[in-house]
Chains A and B, each alone.
Chain A
Amino acid sequence: MATYNKFQAFVENLAEKVHDLGADSLKVMLTNSAPVATNALLGDLTEIAAGNGYTAGGTAPSISSSAQTTGTYKLVLADVTFTAAGGSIGPFRYIVLYNDTPASPLNPLIAWWDYGSALTLAAGESLTVDFDATNGVLQLA
């Protein structure tokens, strides 16, 4: 299981009304360069080339649930599947979640996961990013 890695700026952005996790356009993007916790914006990362089924900026996951129960907030995202068509996607190793809606700061980062090794999807192959449907992507208590 790939570990959740937090971008440090996320917690401040969350507290200072940058994110509306229930309605903003969250996106999952791919990069082959290791992010670091002090990265703050999408522009701090190097995205893989668009094409063959990968759209620049990545894919917006559906928000399954953004709600609290007994004081604990949970963000649940549906799985995201990238499928290469007509050519390959990648190589990439890191999967990054960010918020595509805010203009200031522009496209703030939320978290990233490390696949563990560089991966190239050949035409017809897919990568499914399996978000935890029970515990959600993140919780706030």
Chain B
Amino acid sequence: MAKTTPLPSDDELRARLAELQGQRAVKAGKVQALRDERDALLADPIFARERELARAIRQAVADEGLVELDAEIGKIARALGSYRMTAESA
């Protein structure tokens, strides 16, 4: 005959729940401390400057006419009978 294990009482379950929630609070606190440290680092002005430069790069590509220049280079290479590979998009 199979042995049966008695189900824990509600009080036992509540105690276990409280214990696990306590453990979770400690562990989550450690993770949050790392997130807080990272967030503080990202607030450094150097990162704001990085974002400014990223915007400036996008603008400079348009302002300098690089795309048009590349198109002209491709056109001349085609006229010279060069190799070509058409890259399919994803």
Residues of A whose CB lies within 8 Å of any CB of B are 1-4, 6, 20, 22-23, 61-64, 66, 78-81, 83, 95, 111, 113, 115, 119, 121, 125-132, 135-139
Size of the chain B interface, CB-CB below 8 angstroms: 25
Residues from chain A with a CB closer than 8 A to the CB of B85 are 2, 95, 113, 115, 127-130
B87 cross-chain contacts in A, Cβ below 8 A? 1-2, 4, 95, 113, 129-132, 137
In this assembly, does B15 line the interface, its C-beta being within 8 Å of a C-beta of chain A?
A: no
Q: Tell whether, in the assembled complex, residue A23 and residue B89 are in contact, meaning their CB atoms are under 8 Å apart.
A: no
Q: B-side binding surface: helix, strand, loop or mixed?
A: helix
Chain A contact surface mostly: strand
Asked if A138 and B67 make an inter-chain contact with CB atoms under 8 angstroms apart, the answer reads no
Given contacts A62-B61, A62-B67, contact A132 B88 (CB under 8 A): yes
